[in-house]
Amino acid sequence: MGSRVNVSGAPSWRASLHGGHSAAYCDHARSPLRDILDAAVERGLCLFGVTEHAPRTEPERLYDEERAMGWTVETLAALFSAYAREVNALKEEYAGRIVILKGFEAEVVPEASWEEMALRWKQNLGFDYIVGSVHYVAGYIIDYKPEYFRLAVEAAGGMEPAAVRYFQAVAEMAERLRPEVVGHFDLIRKQFSSDESLYTPRVSRAALEALEAVRDAGCILDINTGGYRKGLGRPYPAPFLVRAAADMGLRACLGDDSHASDEVAWQFEDAREYLLRCGMRKVTLLWPDKAGLDRRDIPLD
């Protein structure tokens, strides 16, 4: 990954708008938030968006590991408020070394109120922006344990219908929530043996329709290097989708989806080359100014 210290604070392409899941607030993260931010400074990022998961509010959606630790939905809510307070303090502490944005990763559950809840959290806890993501299909989480993905596939009526429903959920999330960033656009790829096995003609159409929804909602597409860590050989999303996004004029950003300090800026140089090969010549940052967040386009070359 390299080790370059950011000293100017000026905007550059080396920035992450989707990262910073940390051990105090996320059961499957490994590093304290301060260690993650120190790594972002050390690796020369000009800006780092901290985007912890929004709390799940239904007891049946608690992870097995959370239950084992004695966590409840009330625990998740309290931790989320504590997270918001800590980021406020760290933004001031790190000023002059790196720009920190205070964000969170929203979800599409609970089905009846996810949109209202996300907007309320943003306003009441003073978040700068939202990363909108989809981890659920037919009510089942798809990237936690294989048995849950099997339930999603069964409920959807097969692998291909599950993938179609996933991209339909992404489109609906973008249209309704209009988050500043859409996270790991084709996350469901983790459950398929290859891009070719996922992207049948029917699924490809659903994915392109979701991409159009992201564009129409004015969202920024997360080029998420977690895909490299998961052994996909590429970031999320797939090359044909990045090329389509470039043709649509859709804006993109880099995100490391870091859950530990050693994952910060993960393979960003490779992701830069990936974007250039797919026809993306720039990334977009959310940059703070007096009026809020300004969108700044930064050339990759």
Instruction: List pLDDT tens digits, range 189-203.
Output: 999 999 999 999 999
Mean pLDDT of 64-76: 96
CA 269, CA 14: separation in Å to the nearest integer?
9
Residue 291 pLDDT: 83
Peptide bond into 237 cis (omega under 30): yes
Residue 190 pLDDT: 96
Instruction: Place 9 in a pLDDT band, splitting at 50, 70 and 90.
Output: low
CA 266, CA 55: separation in Å to the nearest integer?
26
Residue 7 pLDDT: 46
Q: Which of 12, 48, 51 is nearest to 266 (CA)?
A: 48
Instruction: Return the residue matching tokens 């599409």.
Output: 108
CB atoms within 10 A of CB 12: 16
CB atoms within 10 A of CB 136: 22
CB atoms within 10 A of CB 172: 15
Instruction: Place 301 in a pLDDT band, splitting at 50, 70 and 90.
Output: confident
Q: Does 235 have pLDDT greater than 50? A: yes
Instruction: List pLDDT tens digits, range 256-282.
Output: 999 999 999 999 999 999 999 999 999
Instruction: List pLDDT tens digits, range 103-150.
Output: 999 999 999 999 999 999 999 999 999 999 999 999 999 999 999 999
Mean pLDDT of 34-57: 97
Phi, psi of 270 (to 5 degrees): -65, -40
The CA–CA distances, whole Å, from 18 to 156, 184, 300 equal 29, 9, 18
Residue 2 pLDDT: 43
User: Do the bridges between strand 140-141 and strand 136-137 make them parallel or antiparallel, or are there none, so unpaired?
Assistant: antiparallel
CB atoms within 10 A of CB 205: 13
Instruction: Place 4 in a pLDDT band, splitting at 50, 70 and 90.
Output: very low
Q: Does 6 have pLDDT greater than 80? A: no
Instruction: List pLDDT tens digits, range 218-233.
Output: 999 999 999 999 999 9
Residue 155 pLDDT: 98
Residue 92 pLDDT: 96
Instruction: Place 244 in a pLDDT band, splitting at 50, 70 and 90.
Output: very high
Mean pLDDT of the residues in the chain: 95
Q: Which of 272, 184, 231 is nearest to 2 (CA)?
A: 272
Mean pLDDT of 21-39: 97
What is the number of residues in the chain?
A: 301
Contacts of 20 (CB under 8 A, 6+ apart): 33, 36, 37, 48, 49, 50, 51, 52, 258
Q: Does 1 have pLDDT greater than 80? A: no
Q: What percent of the chain has pLDDT over 90?
A: 94
Instruction: Place 3 in a pLDDT band, splitting at 50, 70 and 90.
Output: very low
Sketch out the chain's domains with CATH numbers. 15-299 (3.20.20.140)
